[in-house]
């Protein structure tokens, strides 16, 4: 399925900068008579990727995806002269708070904006002097337009077939004085339009899964109506009703913040109380886009939870509310939950030697649980865990190709593509900076380094060591036979080139080299405005070839190749996958730092802290 260029959610893994290009635009238009504007939004200051003029509130307005909504919102924000609405990243954070309560909020942009009339050059109303647009007339050179779009921020639901929707007053963004009386919403569930008021919560029942096109009509006090159609994907996670469900907050703060997590318990067959718990924790999840239902769906995709329950074990799912926060912060709430589970077993009389706990930590969850168990052992806190499983977890670091990181940064900063801005925020999250072997913020000259948070974290967790009071196992997705990705260090992996009269774009990516000096990113952003060209070439030296290493892979390149650029050319990926969790990391090997290492060929010489590897 084609993916939208505006989304760029290929990082399956905070940006406050105003780009050089935005400053150039402001300078270019600075001599115009802004007193002629009828609104506080001069749309020419934004890069119009969304084709905003199509979303005018008429019945012919196209279907709005979450990516399109966020791009339009970002363009309105960029074009706003007063910045009286928050940045779009804060909307995503707000969304997670509502979704955590199983409410899917409907966001609305109801804006008027000014744009340069299309005939200003034909009629010589403006001219370019000294690289600035100069007004030649007292005649108004602006025209007034409007945009009306609605959408959820999340494209899919995890609430099953009954979904709670609400149009929140604080998520209605407008610069209009018109008063809305009510909304008429068709939820595409075979029923009639529902009348909905601000902040009213409506439970909507669906009988089928799949994409739903939801229409919203805003009815105003002057009897006018604006229309929008947005899409949402309804998916039933298959999660049964939990036997217990609660939200816990850590007793121990990290950097002044207390971790928060949701917990769902599914008792085993015939169990009346917690008896033999198997805990599965979530991994890296910025903005809590994957609630308990989403974690359950992944954990049970091969009937793992169901099988455990059939064997008389209790499945427990933990979802961290700040899934990209400091690893230590989430580890401390894991400690609190583990203590509570032990207390529940004590109270139920099931705290027996044969009923100890199993903990499974996939991906970043392996670091969270390791740190939590280490902390408990070093502080004399019983954890009652008999088996800790690190499941393809970056015990020595993770990898997102450094050239790809710079690609994201370039298109976020220079082209101001909202999806790239979101991706950059994820890359720049605390957890990502703690785990990634190379980070775009630490590329200086030709030197590639991790962000400073990575050595700080790994020095701390390595000083604690690995849990000693439990059997520790590593299950990995990567090759133990030295089977690497099918490209060479330093080889080009992404090609992107687009040319037309309006904009020229380049975005080329190479794998990091094996020690030698090599280009890893080349970018070009050049629009029709004078002297706004931005070019960039990033070279690195003395790197280890993590991109093509043996290890658990991610299909980022294939996702990019499938991207629909919306008419801005074709992005070509020469390969599908790159290494995400190197084998030497997931096995925590102590005898080598070589990402191309063949474990099987050296099986008698490997040094690993794990009791068992698979």
Model confidence pLDDT, tens digit, residues 218-245: 999 999 999 999 999 998 888 999 999 9
Query: 15-24, 96-105, 227-236, 534-543 — which is least confidently predicted?
Result: 15-24
Average pLDDT rounded to a whole number, residues 503-515: 95
The pLDDT assigned to 15 comes to 23
The pLDDT assigned to 370 comes to 98
The pLDDT assigned to 531 comes to 66
Average pLDDT rounded to a whole number, residues 486-500: 95
Quick one: pLDDT band at residue 182, thresholds 50, 70, 90?
A: very high
Quick one: pLDDT band at residue 89, thresholds 50, 70, 90?
A: confident
User: CA–CA distance from 317 to each of 333, 469, 538 (Å)?
Assistant: 13, 23, 42
Tell me the three state secondary structure of residue 251: strand
pLDDT higher than 90, residue 83: no
Q: What is the phi/psi pair of residue 251, to 5°?
A: -85, -15
pLDDT tens column, 264-278: 999 999 999 999 999
The pLDDT assigned to 22 comes to 40
Say if CB 522 and CB 545 are below 8 A apart.
no
Compare 114 and 289 and report the one with higher pLDDT: 114
Average pLDDT rounded to a whole number, residues 363-384: 98
Q: Which one-letter DSSP state was computed for residue 597?
A: -
Compare 416 and 261 and report the one with higher pLDDT: 261
Tell me the three state secondary structure of residue 65: coil
The pLDDT assigned to 24 comes to 66
Provide the total of helices (H) and of strands (E) in the chain, helices listed first.
13, 30
Task: Give the rounded percent of residues in the chain with a pLDDT score beyond 90.
Answer: 78
* Mean pLDDT for all residues in the chain: 91
Q: Is the dihedral of CA 330, 70, 8, 20 positive or negative?
A: negative
Burial 212-241 (b: 16+ CB within 10 A, else e): bebbbbbeeeeeeebbbbbbbebbbbebee
Quick one: pLDDT band at residue 1, thresholds 50, 70, 90?
A: very low
Average pLDDT rounded to a whole number, residues 24-46: 91
Quick one: pLDDT band at residue 559, thresholds 50, 70, 90?
A: confident
d(CA 309, CA 600): 35
pLDDT higher than 60, residue 371: yes
Compare 549 and 97 and report the one with higher pLDDT: 549
pLDDT higher than 80, residue 564: no
The pLDDT assigned to 301 comes to 87
Which segments within 436-481 are labelled E, that is strand? 471-475
Considering the entire predicted model, what is its pTM?
Answer: 0.90
Quick one: pLDDT band at residue 553, thresholds 50, 70, 90?
A: very high
pLDDT higher than 90, residue 101: no
The pLDDT assigned to 55 comes to 97
Tell me the three state secondary structure of residue 196: strand
pLDDT higher than 60, residue 305: yes
pLDDT tens column, 252-264: 999 999 999 999 9
Q: How far from chain centre, in Å, is Cα 261? A: 18
């Amino acid at each position: 399925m084609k993916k939208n260029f505006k989304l760029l959610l290929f990082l399956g893994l905070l940006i406050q900068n105003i780009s050089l290009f935005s400053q150039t635009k402001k300078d270019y238009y600075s001599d115009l008579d802004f007193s002629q504007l009828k609104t506080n939004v001069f749309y020419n200051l934004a890069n119009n990727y969304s084709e905003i003029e199509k979303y005018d509130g008429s019945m012919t307005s196209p279907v709005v995806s979450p990516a399109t909504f966020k791009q339009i919102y970002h363009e309105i924000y960029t074009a706003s002269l007063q910045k009286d609405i928050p940045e779009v990243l804060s909307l995503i954070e707000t969304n997670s708070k509502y979704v955590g309560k199983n409410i899917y909020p409907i966001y609305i942009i109801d804006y008027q904006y000014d744009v340069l009339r299309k005939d200003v050059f034909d009629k010589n109303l403006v001219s370019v002097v000294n690289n600035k647009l100069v007004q030649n007339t007292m005649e108004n050179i602006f025209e007034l337009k409007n945009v009306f779009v609605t959408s959820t921020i999340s494209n899919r639901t995890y609430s099953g077939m009954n979904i709670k929707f609400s149009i929140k007053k604080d998520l209605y963004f407008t610069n209009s004085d018109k008063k809305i009386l009510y909304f008429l919403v068709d939820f595409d569930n075979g029923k009639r339009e529902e009348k909905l008021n601000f902040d009213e919560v409506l439970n909507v029942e669906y009988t089928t899964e799949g994409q739903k096109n939801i229409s919203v009509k805003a009815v105003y006090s002057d009897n006018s109506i604006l229309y929008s159609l947005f899409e949402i994907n309804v998916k039933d996670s298959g999660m049964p009703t939990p036997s217990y469900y609660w939200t816990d907050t850590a007793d121990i703060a990290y950097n002044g913040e207390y971790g928060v997590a949701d917990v769902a318990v599914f008792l085993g067959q015939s169990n009346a109380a917690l008896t033999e718990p198997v805990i599965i924790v979530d991994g890296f999840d910025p903005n809590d886009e994957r609630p308990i239902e989403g974690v359950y769906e992944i954990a049970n995709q091969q009937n793992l939870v169901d099988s455990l329950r059939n064997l008389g074990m209790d499945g427990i799912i933990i979802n961290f509310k700040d899934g990209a926060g400091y690893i230590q912060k989430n580890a401390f709430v894991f400690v609190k939950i583990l203590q509570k589970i032990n207390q529940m077993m004590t109270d139920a009389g099931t705290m027996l030697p044969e009923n100890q706990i199993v903990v499974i930590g996939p991906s970043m969850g392996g670091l969270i649980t390791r740190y939590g168990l280490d902390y408990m052992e070093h502080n004399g806190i019983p954890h009652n865990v008999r088996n800790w499983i690190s499941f393809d977890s970056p015990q020595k670091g993770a990898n997102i190709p450094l050239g790809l990181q710079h690609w994201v940064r370039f298109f976020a900063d220079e082209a101001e593509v909202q999806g790239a801005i979101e991706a950059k925020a994820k890359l720049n999250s605390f957890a990502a900076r703690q785990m990634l072997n190379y980070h775009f913020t630490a590329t200086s000259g030709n030197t590639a380094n991790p962000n400073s948070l990575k050595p700080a974290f790994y020095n701390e967790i390595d000083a604690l060591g690995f849990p000693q009071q439990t059997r520790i196992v590593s299950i990995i997705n990567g090759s133990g036979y030295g089977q690497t990705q099918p490209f060479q260090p330093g080889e080009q992996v992404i090609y992107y080139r687009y040319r037309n009269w309006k904009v020229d774009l380049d975005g080329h990516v190479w794998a990091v080299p094996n020690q030698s000096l090599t280009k890893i990113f080349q970018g070009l952003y050049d629009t029709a405005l004078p002297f706004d060209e931005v070019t960039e070439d990033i070279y690195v030296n003395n790197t280890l070839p993590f991109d093509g290493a043996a290890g658990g892979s991610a299909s980022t390149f294939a996702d990019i190749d499938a991207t629909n650029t919306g008419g801005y050319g074709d992005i070509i990926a020469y390969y599908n996958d790159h290494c995400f969790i190197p084998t030497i990391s997931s096995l925590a090997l102590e005898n080598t730092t070589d990402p191309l290492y063949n474990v099987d060929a050296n099986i008698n010489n490997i040094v690993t802290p794990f009791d068992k590897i698979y």
